Amino acid sequence: MHIKFAPLGVCFVLLPLFSGCATWAQHGVSVEKDERVRIAVLPLEVTAKVEKLSEIMTSPPKVSDERLLIQERMQDEAAQLTDLLQSTLRESRFFELVPLVEAAAGHDVPALDQPQALTVAELQKLKADRNIQAVLVVKLAGYGKLKKKWVTYLIGSGVVEGVVQGVVAARVVDSTAIGLLVALEEIGQEILVWGGGSYLFNQHYAPVTLEAELISTMDGARFWQHTVFVSVDKEAIEKLPPEEQKKRELHLQLTAQKAIKELVEDINEAAKSYLGFEDGSLQEAD
């Protein structure tokens, strides 16, 4: 199971109706025929909250301080995913990757070897000196479990629904006590479903969440953003040797790799839609 979120997608769908929606070209991202968009890709930034080694390993070693080992493993995973992201994007017919060393060397911009926020001036320097049109920022936002804010949102939605049902029940039977009982019962069920359900989901799947955005080097604006959520890559896991198929760390690695590949597919589709693509050649968007 995988889920893809594109918050800006609605804006582009309704572009003809709302002049406030901006195209890629309005942020300086456009190409002539047979050209590719020149982008720099920052290393993946780990924002996922991993509290225990058991969340990402089947048989974690006993250590005095798990935090250091968690940090090391997450940084190693981010580095491997960065390499996969870059190698996969290099095969794209829409994008030309500018190596990070080339992008930063000898220029008044910080070294691009660590995830960081670039100022508008630094971004514009990349455009002026290396003709880089955009910077791709990807965050490893969830690893081994659903993001807490998603669970909180689902529980919150259930609480609201419970209150509404309680109010309706109170009016129908003209009893505040009955309405309160209905509301509490509904709220309790939602907390049980989404609170306990998320725990079971995390135990039986290997969820990975990636959050990506393209930043314009012309004006520093985020002109495309996307979230990819993949629960597990069962097909890849089944290809592992039997003794390896139960290792959670391998489940997560394979799921993350699938998420990266889906992200690249999505960004390619976005480029195809917003820049225009016809007969094997890129066309400049209107």
pLDDT of residue 167: 44
pLDDT of residue 114: 52
Are both 222 and 92 inside the same structural domain?
yes
- Is residue 95 situated within a structural domain? yes
Region of 213 (left: φ > 0; alpha: ψ -120 to 50; beta: rest) is beta
| pTM as predicted | 0.71
Are both 218 and 164 inside the same structural domain?
no
Are both 230 and 90 inside the same structural domain?
yes
User: For residues 224 and 268, what is the distance between their CA atoms, to the nearest angstrom?
Assistant: 12
Q: State the residue range of the domain holding 187.
A: 150-205
Are both 155 and 52 inside the same structural domain?
no
User: For residues 50 and 148, what is the distance between their CA atoms, to the nearest angstrom?
Assistant: 11
User: For residues 41 and 162, what is the distance between their CA atoms, to the nearest angstrom?
Assistant: 45
Taking only the tens of pLDDT, the chain with its 286 residues reads 454 444 443 343 333 333 334 589 889 888 887 789 999 999 999 999 999 998 899 888 988 889 999 999 999 999 999 999 999 999 999 999 998 765 555 555 555 555 567 888 888 988 888 889 999 999 999 898 765 554 444 444 444 444 444 444 445 555 555 545 544 455 444 444 444 444 544 455 578 889 999 999 999 999 999 989 888 788 998 999 998 988 989 999 999 999 999 999 999 999 988 886 654 444 443 3
Query: Of the candidates 165, 181, 205, which is a domain's last residue?
Result: 205
- Is residue 286 situated within a structural domain? no
Are both 115 and 25 inside the same structural domain?
yes
Are both 185 and 216 inside the same structural domain?
no
Dihedral (Cα; 9, 153, 47, 144), 10-degree rounding: -100
pLDDT of residue 217: 93
User: For residues 179 and 62, what is the distance between their CA atoms, to the nearest angstrom?
Assistant: 51
User: For residues 44 and 136, what is the distance between their CA atoms, to the nearest angstrom?
Assistant: 10
Are both 243 and 131 inside the same structural domain?
yes
Please tell me the total count of domains within the chain: 2
Task: Supply the DSSP string of 187-217, one letter for each residue.
Answer: HHHHHIIIIIHHHHHHHHS--EEEEEEEEET
- Is residue 281 situated within a structural domain? no
Are both 140 and 262 inside the same structural domain?
yes
For residue 223, give the 3-state DSSP assignment: strand
Strand ranges inside 14-79, DSSP E: 37-41, 45-46
pLDDT of residue 110: 53
pLDDT of residue 198: 43
- Is residue 170 situated within a structural domain? yes
List the CATH number of the domain containing 41: 3.40.50.10610
User: For residues 55 and 198, what is the distance between their CA atoms, to the nearest angstrom?
Assistant: 13
User: For residues 34 and 63, what is the distance between their CA atoms, to the nearest angstrom?
Assistant: 54
User: For residues 252 and 144, what is the distance between their CA atoms, to the nearest angstrom?
Assistant: 7
Are both 94 and 7 inside the same structural domain?
yes
| β-bridge partners, 213 | 137, 225
Are both 201 and 213 inside the same structural domain?
no
Are both 107 and 218 inside the same structural domain?
yes
Are both 134 and 178 inside the same structural domain?
no
